[in-house]
Chains A and B, each alone.
Chain A
Amino acid sequence: MAGYLLQRLVQAVIVVFAMSVIVFVGVYAIGNPIDVLIDPGATAEIRENLIRQYGLDQPLWRQYLVFLGNVAQGDMGTSMVYNIPVVDLVFSRLPATLELVLVSVCIATLIGIPAGLYAGYRPDSVGAKAIMALSVLGFSVPTFWIGMLLIMGFAVQLGWLPSGGRGDEGSILGLRTSLATADGWSHVIMPAINLSLFKMGLLIRLTRAGMVEAMSTDYVRFARAQGLPDRQIVFRHVLRNISIPIVTVFGLELGSTLAFAVVTESVFNWPGVGKLIIDSILQLDRPVMVSYLVLVVVLFVLINLTVDLVYARLDPRVRLRGEDA
C-alpha cells in the first residue's frame, strides 16, 4: 500500500510539472503582452523598463525558473491588467464560483436522483420516457444556448429575474456570500439551474441504469417475497446499493462542474474565476492564464489521486492489480 501510494504521488507531481511547463511555454509563445499593456506612443525607454520589470528580456527557461521559485513562495505573479497579485485576484473570485457550483450541484442532486429512481422504477411509463428525453437534451444541447434562452425568457420577456451579476452579499457565520440575501438568491438561481442541467442529465441516467439493474436482482426479489412495500425496498435497499457508483462519478464530476462554470459565468456575467480566465485569455493577461490553468490542473490531479486512493482502500482488487489501477 505504501509503495502504491508513493508511486501515485510521484506520478501526480510529474504530471503537475509537465502541465505547468506546457502551459507556461505555450502561453508565453503567443503574442507580446507589452503591446497590449503599453500606450503605442510611449517612449522606447519606458518600454524597455517595463519589459525588464516583467522579466520579459530573460530567456524562457529562466522565466520559468523564476516563476517556479515565486510559486514556491506563494507568489503566482501580478496580473498585468488588474495590477494586483494573481493569488489575491483568484481568491477574491473563488467564492462566487464555489457558491454557483454548490447551488447547481444541490439542484442537480435534488431533481436528478428522484427523477432517475422513478425512470428506473417504471421504465415504460410516459413520465419515465419524458424524463429520459429531457436528460438527452440536458446532455447534448450546449449549455450557453440554454443559458441564453433562460435570460431571454425569465429576465428580458418576463422580467422576473435579473439577467446577470451576483447581487447583494450578506454574511452567514462570518462568510460573505450572496446566498445570505434574497437578492443574491434571485441572481444565483438562473445560472445555477443552467450549470446543473448537464450534471442532472448524467445523474438521471446513472440512477436509472442502477435502478433498472437492481430491480431484477435476487435481493429485491427476496424483499418483495417478504412482502416489504416497494417504497421501503427502493429507499432502504436499492438506493444504498446503487449509491456507490453514483457518488464516485459525482465526485469526479465536481471538478468538471468547476470547469464548465466558465461557460455559465460568461453567459450570466457572473464574477467568478471562470469569467476571469476567459477575460485573461482575451486580454493576454499571462500571469492569470498560467496561474489559473496550473491551479486547475493541480485541483484535478488531487481529485484523481483522492479517488484512486479511496478506491484502493475500499476495493482490494484495485490494490492487487497495482500499477494499472
Chain B
Amino acid sequence: MTNAHADTATTTGGTIAVPSAAPRETRADRWRNFWADYRQSPVAVVSLGVILVLLGVSFGAPLVSPQDPYDMAALDWMDAFLRPGTTGSGGYVHVLGTDNAGRDMLSAIFYGLRTSFVIGISAGVLALAIGICVGLSAAYFRGRTESVLMRIVDLQLSMPAILLALVMVAVLGQGVAQIVAALVVAQYAYFARTTHGAATVERSKDYIEAARSTPLPTRRVLLRHLLPNVMPPLIVVATVQVASAIALEATLSFLGVGLPLTEPSLGSLISNGFKYIHTDRTWLSIYPGLFLMVTVVAINLVGDQVRTVLDPRRSR
C-alpha cells in the first residue's frame, strides 16, 4: 500500500504535484499482490472458503434448507425431538434432528445464521461509519474537539463490550434494530480509536499539508485524501469486530435479553437447546454452537491473515 496516497492525490484533480518514484500500481495490481500474499497461509484460505460457504447457505437459506422454520403451518408436533438422521413426516431426512416444535434444525441453523450475519455485518458497518467520523474529526480538528471525543472513546474502550451492550439492551429493549444499536454503541469506539491513531500519523505528512494548502473543501481532504490511507488498519479491525458482534449477539440472545425465539439467531437456538441440556437431546445445542464457533473462528483467522498481509513492517 506504499503508493496509496500517490494514487488518491492524482485522482483528485491533478493540481497537486506528486513525487512519482516507482511505477504506479493499478487497483487490479494491488488486489493481485494482496491475494498472492494472502494465499501464503492455507488456513486463511480455507477459512475464507468456509465463510463464503456459510454466507451462501445463510443468505440462500430459503433455497437450500429443507423447511421454512418460520412457517408454523409446516411444523408438526409429531416431529418434535427427532434424532439427527431420522426421516420425519415431511418425507425427508432431518440431518441435524428437530427441536421441541418439530422444527428441522438444519433449516433453523441456516436461517439463524442469516440473522446472525445480518446483525453482525450491519452492526460492523454502522460502527465503522460512526467510528470513522469520530476518529477523523478528532484527528483533523484537534484541540478541544479531539480531547472531548477521544476522552469519550477511551472511556468506552475501558468498559467491556458486554457491559455496554447490556446497558443498551436494558435501555432499548429487545429486537433486531435494538440489538444492532446496542452493538454499534459497544463497538464504534474501536474504530474511532484506530482511525484516530492512523489519521494522526497521516495528518502530519506532506501530502495532507499540500492538500490543505489548496482551496479544496475540508470534507474532500478528509474523505478523499486522508481516509483512503487510514483504511488498511480499519479493514482488519472491521473483520474482527464483525466476528465479535456475531458472538456478542449470540451471547445476549443466550442470556435471554437479545432476540426472541420467534426470530431465531444462533444464540436463541442455543439458548433453546440449553433447556434440554440435562437430557440426551444434545443435538439441540451442539450443532448451532458448532456453526457459531466455526463462523467466529473463521472470520478471526481471515482477519489475522489480512493483518499480516497489510502490516507495513512486513517486507514484500
Enumerate chain A interface residues (CB-CB to B < 8 A): 11, 15, 22-23, 26-27, 29-31, 136-137, 139-145, 148-149, 151-152, 156, 163, 252, 255-256, 259-260, 262-263, 266-267, 277-278, 281-282, 289, 293, 296-297, 300-301, 303-304, 323-324
Determine whether B274 belongs to the interface, using a CB cutoff of 8 Å to chain A.
yes
Determine which residue in B151, B166, B293 has the highest number of CB atoms from chain A within 10 A of its CB, and name it: B166
A304 engages B300 (CB within 8 Å): no
A–B pairs, 12, beta carbons within 8 Å: A29-B171, A30-B170, A30-B171, A140-B300, A141-B293, A149-B286, A152-B286, A255-B158, A266-B255, A267-B274, A303-B158, A324-B146
Cα(A11)–Cα(B166), bound, Å: 24
With A144-B251, A266-B255, A323-B147 in contact, do A152 and B282 touch (Cβ < 8 Å)?
yes
Return the contact of B250 from the options A142, A151, A281 (Cβ within 8 A).
Answer: A142
- B residues 272-292 near A (Cβ < 8 Å) are 274, 277-278, 282, 285-286, 289, 292
B270 engages A304 (CB within 8 Å): no
The list of the 5 closest CB pairs from A to B, nearest first, reads A26-B171, A256-B160, A259-B163, A259-B160, A145-B289
Cα(A262)–Cα(B167), bound, Å: 13
A137 engages B170 (CB within 8 Å): no
Residues of chain B lying within 8 A (CB to CB) of residue A303 = 158
In the complex, residue of chain B having the shortest beta-carbon distance to the beta carbon of A23: B167
Q: Would you give the shortest CB distance from A98 to chain B, in whole angstroms?
A: 17
Determine which residue in A143, A252, A259 has the highest number of CB atoms from chain B within 10 A of its CB, and name it: A259
B278 engages A141 (CB within 8 Å): no
Determine whether B169 belongs to the interface, using a CB cutoff of 8 Å to chain A.
yes
A282 engages B257 (CB within 8 Å): yes
A289 engages B163 (CB within 8 Å): no
Determine whether B173 belongs to the interface, using a CB cutoff of 8 Å to chain A.
yes
Determine which residue in B158, B278, B296 has the highest number of CB atoms from chain A within 10 A of its CB, and name it: B158
B256 engages A163 (CB within 8 Å): no
In the complex, residue of chain B having the shortest beta-carbon distance to the beta carbon of A289: B170
Cα(A148)–Cα(B289), bound, Å: 10
With A140-B297, A278-B257, A289-B170 in contact, do A148 and B274 touch (Cβ < 8 Å)?
yes
* Main SS class of interface, B: helix
With A30-B173, A259-B163, A293-B167 in contact, do A148 and B251 touch (Cβ < 8 Å)?
no
Cα(A298)–Cα(B278), bound, Å: 39
With A142-B250, A259-B162 in contact, do A324 and B150 touch (Cβ < 8 Å)?
yes
Residues of chain B lying within 8 A (CB to CB) of residue A141 = 293, 296-297
Residues of chain A lying within 8 A (CB to CB) of residue B150 = 324
Residues of chain B lying within 8 A (CB to CB) of residue A323 = 147
Cα(A26)–Cα(B243), bound, Å: 28
A145 engages B243 (CB within 8 Å): no
Cα(A281)–Cα(B247), bound, Å: 20
In the complex, residue of chain B having the shortest beta-carbon distance to the beta carbon of A304: B158
A148 engages B158 (CB within 8 Å): no
A281 engages B257 (CB within 8 Å): yes
Residues of chain B lying within 8 A (CB to CB) of residue A300 = 158-159, 163
With A140-B296, A142-B247 in contact, do A324 and B147 touch (Cβ < 8 Å)?
yes
